[in-house]
Structure 1
Amino acid sequence: MEQPDTLPYPFVAQGVILLQARINGEWGVTLPQRNGAFFHFCLEGCAYVSAEGQPDVRLEAGDIMLVAQGAPHVVTHKVGGHTLPVQAFLSQVNGKISPARDATSIVCGFFGPDSGLLLTALENLPSFVHLEACNSVPIAENLKQLREELRRSEFGSQHMIRHLLSTIFIYILREWEKLRDESVNALSLAQRRQVAIALACIHERPFYRWTLEGLAMEAGLSRTMFAQLFSTSVGEPPHAYLTRFRMGLATQMLKDTEESISEIARRIGYSSQYSFSKAFKQVRGLTPGQVRGQRSAARAL
């Protein structure tokens, strides 16, 4: 079967901007539990992130807070400050720019799980990850570019914003791995990297006809050792992860593109629309046609 050379998205994490504003005075927002990961990027001024059972964290200019499991929390101008539910807060504040010198500029967003997000990586992170501005030059550079894109309304900016958010997410995971490396032994590090190699192969070429032997070879392990290590580290066998990942990609393509179901099947590695549709229904609980129909119905509203 002919394999496609590229896919239309950077399938790592689908990021969306929930809020961008320059706020002065008393303000606060309550964010509920959600399946995925919140992030808060403080551009200037300061903000506080608080959650039950967690120490309050002060974000300075350039800091990022990742709420890895989407836990409920609040973001405020001061600890214990009054907050509004997220929708009410967005209607009042989103997009507003205060001219005050002591205002806080903040970007809040969310990484959703449907675009091939490495959920096991999130599960291994603490609930709250605070990265200070000086920790990572790549993160700082990408955040600077993100800030510039958010100021624009040019064609292509939204695509660039999504790409930057995916890149920033990767760097956040890398930075946390660096911090964790100091407390793990050489063997566990090597094993994590071998699994990471296999995951990278799946993420970069999900359309390829991966076999257990092929992934094990890429990781530099025997078939049996690789299968055991992958299942232990990721929480499911390689083939199950590959299938679930592919279906996440297919779901996004069904929602975001006009490509036919048969073309989507081909692009993610299936030789027939029937085999793709059968696998999709098993994983997602709906047929590809039903997912596309939901999009059409939503557009008609």
Structure 2
Amino acid sequence: MDILTEALGSMRTAYPSSVRTEGRAPWALRLPPVLGAGFHVVLYGTCWLLPLGIGNGTGNGTGEGTGTGTGRHEPIALSPGDVVFLRDGGGHILADHPDTPPVDARDCEADSAPPIGTVSLGGGGARTSLLCGNYHLDQGRPHPMVRQLPALIHLPTRHGRHPELAAAVQLLGSELENPRIGSTGIVPALIDSLLLYILRAWFEDQPAASAAGWAAALRDAAVAPALEAIHEAPATPWTVESLADRAGLSRAAFARRFTTMVGEPPMAYLTRWRMTTAARLLRESEAPLTSVAAQTGYGSEYAFAKAFKREFGLAPGGYRREARAA
């Protein structure tokens, strides 16, 4: 069971949207906050990213926090191949130099040339090419794995770092620089996959000896098997004891370890994942409520509906209707 893929899939509300940004110095672009998570890939040239009010807990992909919680952050220098991920889609500026006055992205129109549109701005100086966009993730109910990420992740891919992520960036650059037959299908698929490469790279960057939270949980000999069991079979009547037995720990030791790493007790996470699974089934399938209840570990439609309404504030049928109408 791939927990990272499952967690992101539970938050996804639509396919990513993206645009290519072509800047010629001097240039600067102010990007407003977006729903979901933002990302940038430097395809060619260099630039600066100036965070605007991004919350505490920013990181550079090495686990080192640089956020102050004040909304004031140092500009970040970006080089070819660099990837930036903004967990909450916070507003920011991209520029050839931190002092260049920005124009608002809402005032810039993209052309519609395949495989994606392009925004061009600036003067006649040095060229920078970026892929900019956002992943449409439900931030109203973020999975705790995503909630624990730094607000800003900067992943350089030079000098052999993050080879799979670097390869994805190179493929994207090639398809965007020289579109050919199939590029219209290839580029969106690569952008969609990029999110998994970004988060895999960040999780694997965390030192094993000092990793905490989900970075530790995903490779912990006791917690990881329990998470896999919950994700693979949410309908199973798991208890703290049965999960602890799989982990080879006492009930108390397992509960403490799980809660420390995951951020909530085992039974609370089990309920969260059952409700997340139920919501996804209601949105994406025509399964009757009795079937959804059975697939998420509830013995009756009544018990399931009561638990679902407590979690979402809506009865399952009402949730399904609202989701379909959105």
Pairwise same-fold verdict (TM > 0.5): yes
Q: TM-score, normalised by structure 2?
A: 0.69
Matched, 1:292 2:308: no
Tell me: CA distance 1:292–1:41, structure 2 relative to 1, closer, same or farther (3 Å).
same
Corresponding position of 2:201:
172
Structure holding more helix per residue: 1
Corresponding position of 1:210:
238
Tell me: CA distance 1:75–1:24, structure 2 relative to 1, closer, same or farther (3 Å).
closer
Determine helix, strand or coil for the equivalent of 1:133: coil
Letter of the structure 2 residue corresponding to residue 96 of structure 1: T
Q: Deviation at 1:144?
A: 4.9
CA contact (8 A) 1:20 1:106 kept: yes
Corresponding position of 1:44:
44
Tell me: CA distance 1:258–1:42, structure 2 relative to 1, closer, same or farther (3 Å).
farther
Letter of the structure 2 residue corresponding to residue 137 of structure 1: P
Matched, 1:281 2:309: yes
Letter of the structure 1 residue corresponding to residue 308 of structure 2: F
Matched, 1:130 2:165: no
Deviations 1:4-25 (A, max 9, x none): xx99x94221455232214233
Take 1:146 and 1:279, find their aligned partners in 2: how far apart are those partners? 44
Letter of the structure 1 residue corresponding to residue 22 of structure 2: I
Letter of the structure 2 residue corresponding to residue 279 of structure 1: A
Tell me: CA distance 1:288–1:297, structure 2 relative to 1, closer, same or farther (3 Å).
same
**Aligned pairs, number:** 283
Take 1:191 and 1:167, find their aligned partners in 2: how far apart are those partners? 15
Corresponding position of 1:196:
224
Take 1:53 and 1:145, find their aligned partners in 2: how far apart are those partners? 35
Corresponding position of 1:19:
18
Flag structure 2 segments of 5+ consecutive residues without an equivalent. 52-70
Deviations 1:166-194 (A, max 9, x none): 5325413423323xx36569xx9699713
CA contact (8 A) 2:109 2:119 kept: no
Deviations 1:139-183 (A, max 9, x none): 2344456668987444x986x5586245325413423323xx365
Letter of the structure 2 residue corresponding to residue 67 of structure 1: L
RMSD: 4.0
Aligned with 1:63 (options 75, 79, 82):
82
Deviations 1:101-135 (A, max 9, x none): 82413132236257996425642x43322111132
Matched, 1:270 2:288: no
Corresponding position of 1:95:
117
Take 2:254 and 2:47, find their aligned partners in 1: how far apart are those partners? 44
**Structure 1 residues 228-239: aligned runs within 5 Å:** 228-239=256-267
Letter of the structure 1 residue corresponding to residue 152 of structure 2: F
Take 2:29 and 2:89, find their aligned partners in 1: how far apart are those partners? 18
Take 1:146 and 1:90, find their aligned partners in 2: how far apart are those partners? 23
Tell me: CA distance 1:65–1:175, structure 2 relative to 1, closer, same or farther (3 Å).
farther
Take 1:90 and 1:116, find their aligned partners in 2: how far apart are those partners? 32
Corresponding position of 2:254:
226
Aligned with 1:53 (options 72, 92, 95):
72
Determine helix, strand or coil for the equivalent of 2:292: helix
Matched, 1:108 2:133: yes
Letter of the structure 2 residue corresponding to residue 136 of structure 1: H
Letter of the structure 2 residue corresponding to residue 132 of structure 1: P
**Structure 1 residues 77-96: aligned runs within 5 Å:** 77-83=96-102, 88=106, 91-92=109-110, 95-96=117-118
Q: Deviation at 1:286?
A: 1.4
Percent identity over the alignment? 29
Which deviates the most, 216-225 or 138-147? Answer: 138-147
CA contact (8 A) 2:172 2:187 kept: no
Tell me: CA distance 1:140–1:74, structure 2 relative to 1, closer, same or farther (3 Å).
same
Deviations 1:66-115 (A, max 9, x none): 234554433334324444556x26754772276x9824131322362579
Determine helix, strand or coil for the equivalent of 1:263: helix
Tell me: CA distance 1:165–1:118, structure 2 relative to 1, closer, same or farther (3 Å).
farther
Q: TM-score, normalised by structure 1?
A: 0.74
Take 1:253 and 1:205, find their aligned partners in 2: how far apart are those partners? 15
CA contact (8 A) 1:29 1:75 kept: yes
Take 2:299 and 2:190, find their aligned partners in 1: how far apart are those partners? 33
Tell me: CA distance 1:83–1:92, structure 2 relative to 1, closer, same or farther (3 Å).
farther
Q: Deviation at 1:226?
A: 1.0
Tell me: CA distance 1:97–1:38, structure 2 relative to 1, closer, same or farther (3 Å).
closer
